[in-house]
Amino acid sequence: MKNICLLLLCAGAMVISSCTDNGEIEQTSGSNLLQISTEITTRSVLESSSFSTGDEIGVFVSNSTGKEYADGTSNIKATFNKQWQMDKPVSLTESPATVYAYYPYCNNSIEENYPYISGDFLYFDLRQNGDKGQIDYLFGQAERVADINSPNANIHFRHVLSRLTFIIKRATSDQGQGLLSSVALRSPSNNLFYMGYIYLKDGVAKDSGYNYHRGAIKINTNLTLNSETEQKVDMLVIPRTLSNAGELTLELTIDGKPYIVNMPATTWEAGQQYTYPITISRTDAHIIATPAKVGDYYYSDGSWSTGYDANRTCIGTVFALSEEKDGDINVSLSESMHGRIAALQDLTATYRWADNTSTDVEGIPNFYLADGKQDGGYLPINGIEGESVTTPQLPYGAYIWPVEKSNQYALTDYAGRSHSSFIEKEYYPAGYACFSIMSEGLNNNEQGFWYLPAIGELARLATACNANLLDPTGDSPFKILGDDYYWSSTEGEKSEAYAWCYYGKYKGILQYQVKDATYKVRPIASF
């Protein structure tokens, strides 16, 4: 595989230190009112390592059983102005009071709006919140209990999340403008949560556990990279362990194209900062990524992932692999940077292959035999050339057709994918529909991205669908081929009036039909 982008990645945890911000409520001598002071362990995206005028925290005061010390002693807002001023004074008795707090204060209790607070839980969303960016949450607890004889509570705050700092620069040989527009952390297996919660009695952050809270954490930027000055991008994440390299990937969008690198195995601990120096070197404009596998989801930005990412625009599913773009499908490949994708769904209309059935298209190979033996038959089940079956055989597997390229087999013909004849709307409706489509969920900004599959590609797509290799969990909008006839771009040799199609009702039969019949179409593309 050709290396196109080199990103050098290493990590180190930043040593933390602490500073004290002693803000207290002024009280008269002998007062039984709770007084608080604070200190922060620094590792922050706050402007200062201490609290500033106007900062607000939420204070909880509980008794020895963990319940409210008195009515209304949960989530009391305290505002800093040289000292802390609580909205609700708390009168202490002989009973001990446990005091803990979090930053920043939240009074929202509506679940649809993040962050929100419910009981002893603060729920958050790590996705970038417009110009406000991510929120760096702090949690603290008083070092000892307070009571009427000891009303002072010194709350030691620490950071709840882990902070990743990416130090990015370009190699001197890097080509292009170098505009970095975003940095995104992703999970190829869809195992990254952007939503979580903090238990406000111990300050531990955990992911929400809900599948619909999985997806990328993206930081939008507007930075121009160069080889002399490093650019810094910070990202907050829920503490976790990465057991294997590549469990998460980092995607940098540079000059409008995504460049992806595997994150190393590590453990991200709460309150720690991890620094990743990255050097960018691109030799051409291709996209670098983790190699694709059959069943991966393909997105409008040219990237792919094994787990479905609902936060990106999915336009198709990888159903076959090749050694190079537009190259022959190679069923022996388990992963590759190139292959074929199928659109998410059939086009809504049905189409004729051609209006003029007496014309043989020059440059499109004609095939009489589907598999070397008969003019219509089921896909071979064992990958041996020339062998076929006359009834469906299940289960379908990944290697169920001839693997050797041969002009005798329609299964290995891909010549029709870019033939200029199919851009002629008035003569070849099925081919033109694929060439010109830019709607119905097939999001692409130029004609010619999608094309009518040759019979070999269509057969490969059909077998992958039948083997449940594409979207097996049903998480994405992808729809498998139905029980209909589907046109391919391959012509039959019996006469110029016929072209090959796949018939989904019998899960694997290939036939040729007259070109003026109206059948379904599933566009595909090469990447």
DSSP string, 72-135: T-SSEEEEESSSEEESS--B--SS-BEEEEEES------TTSSSEEETTEEEEE-S--GGG---
Q: What is the average per-residue pLDDT within 443-462? A: 75
CB-based burial, 270-295: b 16+ in 10 Å, e otherwise? bbbbbebbbbbbbeeeebbbbebbbb
Q: Lowest-pLDDT range, 79-88, 263-272, 427-436?
A: 427-436
Peptide bond into 96 cis (omega under 30): no
Amino acid at 398: A
- Predicted local confidence at residue 480, as pLDDT: 92
CA 163 to chain CA centroid, nearest Å: 20
Query: What's residue 392's pLDDT?
Result: 40
User: Could you tell me the pLDDT band of residue 394, with boundaries at 50, 70 and 90?
Assistant: very low
Answer whether residue 284 shows pLDDT above 80. no
Ranges of CATH 2.60.40.2620 domains, the chain: 35-159
Instruction: State residue 402's pLDDT score.
Output: 42
Percent of the chain scoring above 70 in pLDDT: 75
> Which whole number is the average pLDDT over 433-456?
68
Q: Exposed/middle/buried for 99, CB within 10 Å: 0-12, 13-18, 19+?
A: buried
- Can you name the residues that pair with 261 across neighbouring β-strands? 250
What is the SS3 assignment for 466? helix
Task: Check whether 384 has a pLDDT greater than 60.
Answer: no
> How do residues 44-88 score in pLDDT, each as one tens digit?
444 346 788 999 999 999 999 999 999 999 999 999 998 999 999
User: What pLDDT score does 42 carry?
Assistant: 56
Integer Cα distance of 45 and 164 in angstroms: 11
Q: What is the second-level CATH architecture of the domain 35-159?
A: Sandwich (2.60)
Give the pLDDT of residue 10.
43
- The pLDDT value recorded for residue 495 is 65
For residue 372, is pLDDT > 70? no
- For the cut 60, the answer to whether the pLDDT of residue 91 exceeds it is yes
Burial of 496 (C-beta count, 10 Å sphere; 0-12/13-18/19+): middle
- Distances in Å between the Cα of 62 and the Cα atoms of 31, 146, 151, 470, 517 are 19, 10, 14, 53, 77
Cβ-proximal residues to 459 (8 Å cutoff; 6+ apart), any chain: 379, 401, 411, 502, 510
pLDDT one-digit tens code per residue, 474-495? 888 999 999 999 998 888 775 6
pTM above 0.85, yes or no: no
Q: What is the mean pLDDT of the chain?
A: 78
How far apart CA 295 and CA 320 sit, in angstroms, is 9
Q: In CATH, what number does 162-194+208-290 get?
A: 2.60.40.2630
Count of C-beta atoms within a 10 Å radius of residue 399: 13
Q: In the chain, which segments carry CATH 2.60.40.2630?
A: 162-194+208-290
The gap from C-alpha 256 to its chain's centroid, in whole angstroms, comes to 17
In this structure, of 108-122, 249-263, 341-355, 475-489, the range with the lowest mean pLDDT score is: 249-263
DSSP letter (8 states) at residue 420 = G
- Higher pLDDT pick, 262 / 508: 262
pLDDT for the residue 198: 97
